[in-house]
A and B are shown apart, each in its own frame.
Chain A
């Protein structure tokens, strides 16, 4: 069974530039999550999708971050414009359902460096 796919693996940009990350969840998983992991910290949820609808985006900085999951499968997270403090690993995860006891399956992440 294929895991959660993410690309690119690494990205280096200058502040004020824009960047986009892509995620393809495990086939059949209805719920998709984007987490931000700053060095030395645990993952922080940015946005959660159930199929193509947003369940929780309370911690997404909406002035610069956007995400979509148009067909309820793969998803794109965009940052525009990027700030230095956006340097982090962006992790995508998926789960079969949306119950609180769901175990999450993670991709390898995209490491973003903003210079």
Chain B
């Protein structure tokens, strides 16, 4: 069965601090996909990144970076030099490659960035 755990319920940082959001997943499939979505106060989830299980290269996009480690079943998300606009709820999600897939989401981590 697939499962996504985001142990951090809320994180509060001061602007310009770096922050890492943790995501641990469980799956029996060898082919799967991991995602991060951002949910700002407006409520609309916005796609940030997608990773497939065969690509363990870390990725950097501006102030955002992602660390995928199959050995620990983790897909962590780091925001460097956080800004107030980064305040949102961030969801990690997993989709298995087998038939009848569905994307399941973790419980989310609420990030507060204070000025």
Contact = CB atoms under 8 A, between A and B. Distances in A.
Interface of A: 3, 40-45, 48, 55-56, 89, 91, 93, 99-101, 103-109, 111
Contacts, number: 64
Interface string B90-109: 01010111101111111110
B43 A109 contact: yes
A108 B93 CA distance: 18
Interface of B: 4, 6, 9, 31-33, 35, 37, 42-47, 50, 52, 91, 93, 95-98, 100-108
Contacts of A100: 31-33, 95-98, 101, 103
A45 B44 contact: no
Contact of A42 (B33, B42, B50, B106): B106
Contacts of B104: 42, 44-45
A104 B33 contact: no
Question: Which of A41, A44, A55, A101 counts the most chain B CB atoms within 10 A?
Answer: A101
Contact of B91 (A42, A56, A93, A107): A42
